[in-house]
Amino acid sequence: MSCKFQNVGKLFPGNIWAVKDFSLEIKGGEFVSFLGPSGCGKTTTLRMIAGLEENTHGVIQIDNDVVSDPKNKKFLPPEKRHVGMMFQSYAVWPHMNVFKNVAYPLKFQNLSKSKIKEDVTAVLKTVELDGLESRKPSELSGGQQQRVALARGLVMKPRILLLDEPLSNLDAKLREKMRRDIRSIQQQLKLTLVYVTHDQKEAFQMSDRVVVMNKGQIEQIGTPSQIQTEPKTPFVKEFVEVGR
């Protein structure tokens, strides 16, 4: 599903522009990464898509629905946006087994027990955790726990999946595997996916397009190869060189 930002801004009290004049159109089934240094506004932008943060300026659309337009006092709350999200601290519930962790977001949707079972079973299969339904997170590897969190983000068949530095807790080898897994699940489900990272290798390896951000603003939007071979601003040029 598509997502469109028109001149979106977030002004926090104290005159802090976390995000400014952000315009971008994400196509259905596209994998887009927000890439940039700490504090450049990546998480804030992601939270505005989910409705966890209200933009103070501009318009956000998901598909053809305006989900936020402060000028016209329009704001759709998170639970009505059908957006899945997985945070850096992915926080699977330690006291719940895998099945219950993944079923959790469905609790609020008035579904029958059998429908919940069906949906959870299907998503566990997608992330290759079938058979581990009754394990507790402490009985899983780091990568398996990460996949529980991913399954929880996928289970309500989100219109868009938002991932905020989801792999930063993993060691290098596992991170590499999860990158490939996430990309292949995204392609298999034709998911629209927005991925936040400050790791340019990760962004370039996984994404259809990369949005390079700096101080709340977009420096460049392009395919990984465009960003790498035709950096449009001094900031992007330096960022790409330093990260090599």
Ligand X SMILES: Nc1ncnc2c1ncn2[C@@H]1O[C@H](COP(=O)(O)OP(=O)(O)OP(=O)(O)O)[C@@H](O)[C@H]1O
Among Mg ion, ligand X, none, what does residue 39 contact (CB within 5–8 Å per kind)? ligand X
- Interface with ligand X, residue 43, by CB under 6 A: yes
Among ligand X, Mg ion, none, what does residue 28 contact (CB within 5–8 Å per kind)? none
Report the 10 Å Cβ neighbour count for 155: 23
Q: Which of 8, 33, 43, 182 binds Mg ion (CB under 5 A)?
A: 43
Tell me the C-alpha distance between 164 and 178, whole Å.
14
Tell me the C-alpha distance between 22 and 6, whole Å.
7
Among ligand X, Mg ion, none, what does residue 40 contact (CB within 5–8 Å per kind)? ligand X
Q: Which of 4, 42, 81, 179 binds ligand X (CB under 6 A)?
A: 42
Q: Which of 44, 68, 144, 145 binds ligand X (CB under 6 A)?
A: 44
Q: Which of 1, 8, 18, 203 binds ligand X (CB under 6 A)?
A: 18
Chain positions 109 to 168 lying near Mg ion, rule: CB under 5 A, are: none
57: alpha, beta or left, given left = phi > 0 and alpha = psi -120 to 50? beta
Q: Which of 7, 27, 39, 109 binds ligand X (CB under 6 A)?
A: 39
Distances (CA, A) of 159 to 6, 8, 143, 190, 214: 19, 20, 25, 10, 27
Question: Which span (40-48, 118-126, 138-146, 154-162) binds ligand X, by CB under 6 A?
Answer: 40-48
- DSSP assignment of 168-194: TTS-HHHHHHHHHHHHHHHHHHT--EE
- Interface with ligand X, residue 145, by CB under 6 A: no
- Interface with Mg ion, residue 44, by CB under 5 A: no
Q: Which is nearer to ligand X, 39 or 131 (CB)?
A: 39
Question: Which span (11-19, 24-32, 125-133, 151-159) binds ligand X, by CB under 6 A?
Answer: 11-19
β strands within 91-208, DSSP E: 160-164, 193-197
Among Mg ion, ligand X, none, what does residue 41 contact (CB within 5–8 Å per kind)? ligand X
Tell me the C-alpha distance between 231 and 244, whole Å.
14
* Cβ 166 vs Cβ 149: under 8 Å: yes
Q: What is the dihedral of CA 64, 33, 47, 104, to 10 degrees?
A: 90
Binding region for Mg ion (CB under 5 A): 43
